[in-house]
Structure 1
Amino acid sequence: MTLLMGIHIAGGMVALVTGAAAVAARKGGALHVRAGQGFVAAMLLLWLTATLLHLRDGKPDSAVGDLFIGYFVITSWLAARRHDGTTGRIEIAACVLILALSAIIAWGAFAGTARPTPVGLGPVFVVAGFCLVAGLLDLNAILRKALTPVQRISRHLWRMCSAFFIATGSFFLGQQDALPEAVRGSPVLVVLAFAPFAILAVFLVRLRFGRRLRSVLEALRA
Structure 2
Amino acid sequence: MNILMAIHIGAGLLALPAGTIAVAVRKGGRLHARAGTAFFGSMVVLGITAAILGPFREPEPLSPVAPLFVLYFVTTSWVAARRRDGSTGRFEILACAAALGTSAVMYWGVVMDGATTPAGPGVIYVLASVCLLAGLLDLNAILRSPLTPARRIARHLWRMCFAFFIATGSFFIGQQDILPAAWRGSPALLLLGFAPFAVMAFWLARVRLGKRLRASLQALPERKLA
TM over 0.5: yes
How many Å separate the matches in 2 of 1:176 and 1:145? 43
Aligned to 2:154: 154
Q: Does structure 1 residue 66 correspond to structure 2 residue 71?
A: no
Superposition map of 1:71-150 within 5 A? 71-118=72-119, 120-150=120-150
Gaps of at least 5 residues in structure 2 are none
Q: Residue type of the partner of 1:209?
A: L
In structure 2, give the amino acid aligned to 1:115: T
Find the counterpart in structure 2 of residue 176 from structure 1: 176
Is 1:50–2:38 an aligned residue pair? no
1:22–1:33: 8 Å Cα contact kept in structure 2?
Answer: yes
Shift of 1:61: 6.4
Secondary structure of the corresponding residue to residue 62 of structure 1: coil
Identity %: 57
Return the index of the structure with the highest Cα Rg: 2
Structure 1 position 142, deviation (Å) = 0.7
Equivalent in the alignment of 1:10 = 10
Counterpart position of 2:197: 197
Give the paired residue count: 217
3-state SS in 2 of match to 1:83: coil
Write the deviation string for residues 111-132 of structure 1: whole angstroms up to 9, x where unpaired: 24322342x3222212111111
2:209 is aligned with what amino acid?
Answer: F
Within 1, Cα distance between the matches of 2:41 and 2:182?
Answer: 32
> Deviation per CA, 1:145-185, whole angstroms, max 9, x where unpaired?
21000000000000000110110001001110111111101
Task: Give me the whole-angstrom Cα distance separating, in 2, the residues matched to 1:211 and 1:137.
Answer: 22
Instruction: Give 1:134 shift.
Output: 0.6
Pairwise CA RMSD of aligned residues? Answer: 2.0
The alpha carbon displacement at 1:56 in A equals 3.5
Structure 1: any 5+ residue segments left out of the alignment?
Answer: none
> Aligned partners of 1:122, 1:69: CA distance in 2, in Å?
19
Distance in 1, Cα, partners of 2:30 & 2:189: 30
